[in-house]
Structure 1
Amino acid sequence: MDKFDKKILDILQHDCTLAVSEVAAQVGLSTTPCWRRIQAMEKNGIIRGRVALADPEKLNVGLTVFVMIKTNQHNPQWLNDFGQIADEFPEIIEFYRMSGEVDYLLRVVVSDMKAYDSFYKKLIDKANFADISSSFAMEEMKYTTALPVNYL
């Protein structure tokens, strides 16, 4: 990727609704070469998709909960089963396998504490955990979906 690709990617990560001609103008290319670069990034999997970012407050899922999970079952079958369980919950919007003291970290969004309690009860009913704890986000200090392009 050259400087044009990096700039195109940076622009699209902040607003993918821009017309290709607008992106091209900001980058200093004509429309066709800019479009070809975008298509190449999509084909190569650099651009995985284009989405609309919804406002959690307006969708009544303003409570963000980080759920830390420990298990005593470190095998592929348990991980596969738990991955399938996680897919059943639309409240789980991020799911990571971790190093360190916590085995898995979930980012969960719900409307309120009562909704989280309901989610929690359903989750522990479906999977066997050695330990599960939750931390509630009090304030979002920074949120972005734009990845840095300066490491390319």
Structure 2
Amino acid sequence: MGKDRKDSPKLSLDDIDLQILKRLQEDGRISNSKLSELVALSETPCWRRWKNLEEGGYIEEYRTVLNRRKLGFGVVVFTQVSLSSHNIELTNQFEQTVKGFDWVQMCHCVSGNVDYLLQMVVRDLDEFSERITMIRHIPGVNSVQSQISVKEIKNSSTLPLG
């Protein structure tokens, strides 16, 4: 099974490309004018590089990070899920179901003693109880273990570009 062109690493990025990517991670709303100033390029070459990075798949999307606490999501939960079987239909059904839950922020299929690791946000412990019940009712779910975050130390989606 071949990788999509956008997922394949390209070794042709130079220092300026990496600077552009780093600055865009810091501020996705930066103007081309400001970006070109920060990376020491004139505007047109900077804009071309930016567009090439988008077209090459290095930039997947732009998004706004919302303040979860201000919006009432006071609890972050990490949940480990084990399935009763690794049957492809069962795992596909679990994955598709979880993708539909907007309160599941991340879901990873992991190695080790469990099959999946989920990160969820909920408003309070009552909502947490409801969400865990929903997960337990997904066909094939064998066990669920959760850890509630008591303090967030770091939360970042930026990549270490140097």
Q: CA-atom RMSD, angstroms? A: 1.0
- Deviation, 1:61, is 1.1
Equivalents in 1 of 2:59, 2:100: separation in Å? Answer: 26
Correspondence list, 1:50-129, <5 A: 50-129=62-141
Q: Can you list the C-alpha shifts for 1:36-83, whole angstroms capped at 9, x where unaligned? A: 111111111110000000001011112100000112311221121011
| Superposition TM-score, scaled by structure 2 size | 0.89
- Unaligned 5+ runs, structure 1: none
Equivalences, count: 150
| Superposition TM-score, scaled by structure 1 size | 0.94
Amino acid at match of 1:73: S
By percentage of residues, which structure has more helix?
Answer: 1
Equivalents in 2 of 1:3, 1:41: separation in Å? Answer: 13
Amino acid at match of 1:38: W
Percentage identity across aligned positions?
31
- Unaligned 5+ runs, structure 2: 1-12
Amino acid at match of 1:15: D
Equivalents in 2 of 1:42, 1:64: separation in Å? Answer: 32
